[in-house]
Amino acid sequence: MEKKVILSGIQATGNLTLGNYLGALNNWVKMQDEYDCYYMIADLHTLTVRNDPEELRKNTLNLIALYVAAGLDPDKNTIFIQSHIPAHTQLSWILNCYTYMGELNRMTQFKDKAAKHADNINSGLFTYPVLMASDILLYNADLVPVGEDQKQHLEITRDIAERFNSIYGDTFKIPEVYIGEVGARIMGLQNPTAKMSKSAKDPMDKILLTDSSEDIRKKLKRAVTDSENCVRFDKENKPGVSNLMGIYGIIKNKTMDKIEEEFKGKGYGEFKNAVAEAIIERLEPLQNRYNELIENPDKLKAIYEKGDKKAEEKANNILKNVYRKVGLIVD
């Protein structure tokens, strides 16, 4: 039986967080044997805000290193760069013509980003979800593993695909969102009612995948909790402690009950130490592999060239079919 197809991606920015890792990468690694996986570096999406061009090139390569360092085997997964496959932008134009302004206006990420970048509300920021829909639909993806913040973008992808199919007949596979049971929404350490975000201004709010052990310990020590001094899972009343329990639970593969038991009668100091050490234990080998890989740009290039080739073939077939359906001349 043919394997089901997965597609996902991360924006090529330099400061990936523990949220990106636990919400996305960590789940991808678990899926690589069972599915035919396409993992792209979303470099085009990063252009919706201003970047330093040299930084963007560096971040793109670094993200490939990070994918591999996190455990994605380049022989099992198709790892590629979004901008290297012109079909993404080509399909995006077409799908723009099947997407309504009103739909895009409802996207919470657009509203958030427009508020954050009030001086640069460009139309790329507005049509961002259409490019994302193109990324997904070009590969006939069955499943799209993402964190919860991307759920709305998956819903609009499905709506666009269904609309197109209802006009032209079966063309696109309707993808399902896959949100991992754990790690779907890692919250900030200083503000545990908002997601941990790479763009957070306060460095104490986020753990970066490149943070030193010392920094991780410091950030955990300062993480916001509550005055109860009891390790108990209660998202609503104890968002800080519950978030730390969630992080600890994923890394240690423990249920919330088990964690409560483990820390019964123990204070937050001890608990925070344990969470910090668990994060360090998980990130250290990843960081070591990452540091080795970024010293070897030829190896990284070989990885994406191989991925690009496979991705392009698949994407072009689907794009051609769409061109034909809408009435463009295809030879």
Tell me the catalytic residues: 113, 195, 198
Closest CA to 35 of 190, 192, 143, 148: 143
CB 107 within 8 A of CB 129: yes
**The Cα angle at residue 5 between residues 250 and 100, in degrees rounded to 5:** 95
Shortest distance, position 24 Cβ to ligand TYM, whole Å: 4
Beta bridge partners of 78: 38
- Could you list the residues that contact ligand TYM (CB under 6 A)? 7-11, 19-20, 23-24, 42, 45, 132, 135-136, 144, 146-147, 149-150, 183-186, 195-196
Q: Which is nearer to ligand TYM, 42 or 315 (CB)?
A: 42
Q: Which is nearer to ligand TYM, 63 or 298 (CB)?
A: 63
Q: Which is nearer to ligand TYM, 30 or 264 (CB)?
A: 30
Q: Which is nearer to ligand TYM, 135 or 308 (CB)?
A: 135
Residues contacting residue 116 through CB under 8 Å, at least 6 positions apart: 199
Residue 5 class from Cβ within 10 Å (0-12 exposed, 13-18 middle, 19+ buried)? buried
- The H or E element that residue 9 is part of is strand 5-11
Residue 122 CA to its chain's centroid (Å): 22
Shortest distance, position 267 Cβ to ligand TYM, whole Å: 26
- Structure letter (DSSP) for residue 122: -
d(C-alpha 29, C-alpha 76), whole Å: 10
Shortest distance, position 113 Cβ to ligand TYM, whole Å: 10
Residue nearest to ligand TYM (CB): 23
Q: Which is nearer to ligand TYM, 199 or 296 (CB)?
A: 199
What dihedral do alpha carbons 152, 27, 78, 155 form, nearest 10°? -10
d(C-alpha 310, C-alpha 293), whole Å: 22
Shortest distance, position 102 Cβ to ligand TYM, whole Å: 20
Shortest distance, position 238 Cβ to ligand TYM, whole Å: 18
Q: In what order do the strands lie in the sheet with 5-11?
A: 77-81, 36-42, 5-11, 143-145, 176-178
Shortest distance, position 133 Cβ to ligand TYM, whole Å: 8
d(C-alpha 25, C-alpha 318), whole Å: 26
Q: Which is nearer to ligand TYM, 146 or 156 (CB)?
A: 146
**The Cα angle at residue 147 between residues 115 and 61, in degrees rounded to 5:** 85
